[in-house]
Amino acid sequence: MLFIRCAFCHKLIFRPLYAPHKAKHTKAMPDGQMTDHVTLDPKKRHHASLAGVPRAYRHPKCGGVTIMPEEIVRSYLVNPFLYSSRTFCCGCNGYVPQDQVFWIETGEGLTDYFRELQQQYLRTHGKQPPKPRV
């Protein structure tokens, strides 16, 4: 394949130019967060209402609250295997394990929340979706 579809911006990138292209997306901003995150192509994201879907989580260790961006929520609702077991904490200005943060809306830990979404996905589809090329 001469081109790679970027998992961050969804553009086709000439393979020899992909590493520097990806580096721009993953560069750390002053707050410690990557410039961009892997998301599903907007055409493949969840498009129903997000009413009742938790978006804000607290990290008890630092007391920080982080609000998850809509495009990430819509992406993981379609593919709950898309993200790793770490999430960004605005209080720590870094990535922390999901088992250390809890949804403000429900009190549920992110680890349990994602485990349930993954189990629902497997019951419906029988197997994990293909991993995006990063």
pLDDT at 67: 95
Is the model's pLDDT at 134 over the cut of 80?
Answer: no
User: Once rounded to an integer, what is the mean pLDDT over residues 37-47?
Assistant: 85
CA angle 129, 74, 96 (to 5 degrees): 85
Task: Place 31 in a pLDDT band, splitting at 50, 70 and 90.
Answer: confident
Domain ranges of the chain: 1-36, 40-125
pLDDT at 7: 87
What pTM does this model have?
Answer: 0.80
The answer to whether residue 77 scores a pLDDT higher than 90 is yes
CA distance 56 to 73: 11
pLDDT band at 42 (very low <50, low <70, confident <90, very high): confident
Tokens coding 3: 């081109």
